[in-house]
C-alpha cells in the first residue's frame, strides 16, 4: 500500500484539508453535550424554566450544527476530489504498465484478473482513500476527546471509558486481522467468476454449437456458490463488529447510569452532567461503529492494494533480465555471436521459445538469416510453431534460448516502442475497434493522409469494401468489427498494418478468410512494395510459393529452408503440404 501513496502526491492539499475540516467538525460536536448539560442544569434548574437562557443555548446548538455541516461538506468535497484523482492516476499507471508487458508476463497473470484489478480493486482503493481522509482523524479525536471531556466532568464516571475503549479496540482490530486474508481469497474467487464469464461471452458461438449451455451454467453456478460461500464466511466476521461494539458500549452506558445515579444522589454530579457523560458515550459508540466499518473497508482496500501493486511491479522479465546481464558483462555471447549478428538484416541465432509453465519447448534451434526487402514464407502443419516464430520478431514473446538480432542489435536490448514502430503486424484473429474505418486505419500511422489510407486499402484489396459503405472512410465500425465479414475484417487489418509502410510486415495467416483470387491479388500487390521485409505465415502453399525464402516447420523445428523449387526437391514435409493442395498431374502439365 505504501507504494501506491505516490498517486496522492498531486492531491496533497486536498489530502490535508479534508481531515482538517473533519477535525473541525469533530471539535464542534464535542461541545454539544456540554451545552445540553447547561440547558438541563441552568435552564431547567429546580423547575424554574429560564427561557431566555434556553433560547440562547438553543441558538448556540444551531450554530454548532451549521458550522459542523459546512465543515463536513467541505471535507467531503476535498476527500472525494483526492480519492477520485488517486484512482484515476492509479488506473492510468496500471493500464500503462499492462500495455508495456510482453505476452509472457500477461499470460502469468491472466486477462480476467487484470480486468478485476483495474475495475473492482481500484474502486475499493478509491473508497478506502475517501473514507480514510474523512474518518482517520475524526473518529480517534471524537473517541479520545469524548473521554477527556468526560474526565473534566467526573473522574470516577469517566473510568468506565478507560475500561470500555481498550475492549472495543481489541474487538475491532481482532476482526480486522482475521478478515484481511479472507478478503484476499474473495477477490481471487471474483477473478475466477469473471474469467468464466468472459470465456462464455467470447466463446458463446462454440458453446451453442456444441449445445453445452447447461454444462457451462452448472460450472458457473458452482464457481458462484464458492464465491458466495467465501463472501458469507468473511461477512460473518465483519458482521460481528457492530453487535459486539454495541454490547460493550451499551454495557458501559448501563454502568454510567448506575454510577451517575449514585453520584447525583450524593450531590457529586448534576443531572445534566450525567446526561452529558452518556451523550459522550453515545458519541464514542457511533464513532467506533464508523471506525469498525472503516477498518473493514481498509482491510478490503489493503487486500486490493496488494493485488494492484503486484501488477504495477511486473516487468518484462526476459527483456529486463537480459539488459541487466549485458550491463554487468558486455559481449556475454562472445565475438562469434557479434559477428553473426551483423551478418544480415535479421538473424535468428539458434533461438528457441518455451512458454511459461510449459513442459516442452515450442520452438527449438531457429537458426537462419533474412536480408532486407526479402519475402519470407513460413509454412507447416497446425501446431508446428509458425505463429510462435513470428511473435519473436516484435518480442511479443522473448526468445528463451539463443537470440534474435535486427541490424546487429539483440531485440531484447531495443526499446519496445522503437522496435514496434518498425513493424506492422496482422495477427491471426482480425480485430477491429469500435469507431470508424478511418480511426482503425490511423492506428498504423497517427498522422496519415487520406491518400496514404487509400493506398494501403488498395494494396490490401479493401478499396471496394470501404467504398461500399456509407461514409466510406468515416463509416461506422462496431465493436470487434461485427458489421464486417471475416474476409473484410482481414483486409482492413492488413490495410491498417500497411498505412505506415513498416520496415517489417508480418502477416500471420491473415488471408485465411480470403478467396484464392483475392489472395493472389494481395500477394502480387505486396511483392511490389519496396524496402519492406515481409513474413507470410500460411498453411496454403500458394501463399508462400513465390517467397524469396520459405521456412518449413514441423513440431517446433526447422525441417527445410529454401525456395519453392528447392523444397519440392529436398523437403518431404513441404512436398506433402504442396501436393495435398496441388495435384501432381496439374503441376506436370503446367511445367
Domains of the chain (ranges; CATH) run: 2-324 (1.20.1560.10)
Work out the average pLDDT over 193-214: 85
Work out the average pLDDT over 129-136: 85
Asked if residue 162 lies in contact with residue 277, where contact means CB atoms within 8 angstroms, the answer is no
Asked if residue 290 lies in contact with residue 139, where contact means CB atoms within 8 angstroms, the answer is yes
Which of 309, 283, 389, 327 lies closest to 2 in space, CA to CA?
309
Work out the average pLDDT over 546-569: 89
Quick one: pLDDT at residue 585?
38
Nearest-angstrom CA–CA distance, 290 and 29: 15
> In this model, does residue 330 exceed pLDDT 50?
no
> In this model, does residue 255 exceed pLDDT 70?
yes
Which of 296, 292, 242, 286 lies closest to 146 in space, CA to CA?
286
CB atoms within 10 A of CB 364: 19
Quick one: pLDDT at residue 323?
46
Q: How many CA atoms lie within 13 A of 159 on its CB side?
A: 5
What does pLDDT average to over the chain?
82
Asked if residue 247 lies in contact with residue 128, where contact means CB atoms within 8 angstroms, the answer is no
Using one digit for the tens of pLDDT, what is the confidence trace for 396-436? 888 888 888 888 888 888 887 788 888 888 888 888 888 88
Using one digit for the tens of pLDDT, what is the confidence trace for 67-112? 989 998 999 999 999 999 998 988 898 888 888 777 777 777 777 7
Q: How far from 505 is each of 158, 375, 422, 537, 538, CA to CA, in Å?
A: 80, 9, 9, 11, 14
Per DSSP, helices labelled H in 204-270 are 204-209, 213-239, 241-265
The strand pairing partners of 533, in sequence order, are: 504
Residue 382: CB partners within 8 Å, gap ≥ 6?
Answer: 539
Q: How far from 458 is each of 103, 525, 536, CA to CA, in Å?
A: 32, 9, 19
Nearest-angstrom CA–CA distance, 353 and 385: 10
Nearest-angstrom CA–CA distance, 367 and 540: 23
Query: DSSP secondary-structure letter at 6?
Result: G
Put simply, whether the predicted model's pTM sits higher than 0.85 gets the answer no
Quick one: pLDDT at residue 149?
84
Quick one: pLDDT at residue 500?
82
Which of 453, 399, 164 lies closest to 281 in space, CA to CA?
164
> In this model, does residue 249 exceed pLDDT 50?
yes
Nearest-angstrom CA–CA distance, 279 and 37: 10
Work out the average pLDDT over 168-176: 77
The helix-helix angle for 271-312 and 155-202 (nearest 10°) equals 30
Query: DSSP secondary-structure letter at 48?
Result: -
> In this model, does residue 214 exceed pLDDT 80?
yes
Query: DSSP secondary-structure letter at 412?
Result: G
Quick one: pLDDT at residue 78?
92
Work out the average pLDDT over 226-255: 83
- Residue 372 three-state SS: coil
Amino acid at each position: 500500500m505504501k507504494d501506491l501513496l505516490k498517486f496522492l502526491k498531486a492531491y496533497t492539499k486536498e489530502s490535508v484539508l479534508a481531515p482538517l475540516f473533519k477535525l473541525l467538525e469533530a471539535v464542534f460536536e464535542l461541545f454539544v453535550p456540554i451545552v445540553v448539560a447547561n440547558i438541563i442544569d441552568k435552564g431547567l434548574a429546580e423547575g424554574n424554566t429560564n427561557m431566555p437562557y434556553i433560547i440562547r443555548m438553543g441558538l448556540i446548538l444551531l450554530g454548532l450544527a451549521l458550522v459542523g455541516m459546512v465543515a463536513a461538506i467541505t471535507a467531503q468535497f476535498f476527500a472525494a476530489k483526492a480519492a477520485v484523482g488517486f484512482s484515476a492516476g492509479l488506473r492510468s499507471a496500471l493500464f500503462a504498465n499492462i500495455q508495456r508487458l510482453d505476452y509472457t508476463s500477461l499470460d502469468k497473470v491472466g486477462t480476467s484478473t487484470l480486468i478485476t484489478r483495474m475495475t473492482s480493486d481500484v474502486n475499493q482503493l478509491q473508497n478506502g482513500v475517501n473514507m480514510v481522509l474523512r474518518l482517520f482523524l475524526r473518529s480517534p479525536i471524537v473517541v479520545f476527546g469524548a473521554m477527556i471531556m468526560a474526565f473534566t466532568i467526573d473522574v470516577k464516571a469517566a473510568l468506565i471509558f478507560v475500561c470500555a475503549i481498550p475492549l472495543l479496540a481489541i474487538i475491532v482490530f481482532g476482526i480486522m486481522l482475521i478478515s484481511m486474508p479472507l478478503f484476499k481469497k474473495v477477490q481471487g474467487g471474483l477473478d475466477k467468476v469473471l474469467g468464466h464469464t468472459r470465456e462464455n461471452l467470447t466463446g458463446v458461438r462454440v458453446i451453442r454449437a456444441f449445445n453445452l449451455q447447461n454444462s457451462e451454467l452448472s460450472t458457473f453456478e458452482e464457481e458462484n456458490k464458492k464465491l458466495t460461500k467465501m463472501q458469507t464466511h468473511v461477512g460473518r466476521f465483519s458482521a460481528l463488529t457492530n453487535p459486539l461494539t454495541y454490547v460493550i458500549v451499551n454495557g458501559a452506558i448501563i454502568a454510567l447510569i448506575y454510577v451517575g445515579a449514585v453520584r447525583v444522589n450524593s450531590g457529586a454530579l448534576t443531572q445534566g452532567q450525567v446526561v452529558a457523560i452518556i451523550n459522550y458515550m453515545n458519541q464514542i459508540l457511533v464513532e467506533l461503529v464508523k471506525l469498525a466499518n472503516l477498518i473493514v473497508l481498509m482491510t478490503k482496500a489493503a487486500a486490493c492494494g496488494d493485488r494492484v501493486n503486484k501488477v504495477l511491479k511486473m516487468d518484462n522479465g526476459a527483456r529486463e533480465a537480459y539488459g541487466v546481464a549485458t550491463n554487468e558483462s558486455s559481449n556475454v555471447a562472445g565475438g562469434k555471436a557479434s559477428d553473426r549478428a551483423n551478418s544480415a538484416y535479421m538473424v535468428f541465432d539458434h533461438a528457441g521459445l518455451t512458454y511459461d509453465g510449459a513442459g516442452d519447448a515450442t520452438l527449438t534451434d531457429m537458426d537462419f538469416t533474412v536480408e532486407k526487402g526479402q519475402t519470407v514464407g513460413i509454412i507447416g502443419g497446425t501446431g508446428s510453431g509458425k505463429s510462435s516464430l513470428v511473435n519473436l520478431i516484435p518480442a511479443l514473446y522473448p526468445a528463451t534460448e539463443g537470440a534474435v538480432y535486427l541490424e546487429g542489435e539483440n531485440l531484447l536490448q531495443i526499446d519496445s516502442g522503437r522496435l514496434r514502430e518498425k513493424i506492422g503486424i496482422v495477427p491471426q484473429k482480425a480485430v477491429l475497434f469500435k469507431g470508424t474505418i478511418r480511426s482503425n486505419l490511423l492506428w498504423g500511422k497517427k498522422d496519415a493522409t487520406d491518400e496514404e489510407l487509400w493506398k494501403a486499402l488498395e494494396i490490401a484489396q479493401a478499396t471496394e469494401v470501404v467504398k461500399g459503405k456509407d461514409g466510406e472512410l468515416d463509416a461506422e465500425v462496431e465493436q470487434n468489427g461485427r458489421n464486417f465479414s471475416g474476409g473484410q475484417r482481414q483486409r482492413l487489418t492488413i490495410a491498417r498494418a500497411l498505412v505506415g509502410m513498416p520496415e517489417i510486415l508480418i502477416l500471420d495467416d491473415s488471408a485465411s478468410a480470403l478467396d484464392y483470387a483475392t489472395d493472389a491479388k494481395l500477394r502480387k500487390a505486396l511483392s511490389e512494395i519496396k524496402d519492406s521485409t515481409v513474413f507470410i505465415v500460411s498453411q496454403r502453399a500458394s501463399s508462400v510459393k513465390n517467397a524469396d525464402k520459405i521456412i518449413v516447420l514441423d513440431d517446433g523445428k526447422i525441417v527445410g529452408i529454401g525456395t519453392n523449387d528447392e523444397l519440392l526437391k529436398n523437403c518431404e514435409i513441404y512436398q506433402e503440404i504442396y501436393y495435398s493442395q496441388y495435384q501432381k498431374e496439374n503441376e506436370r502439365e503446367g511445367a
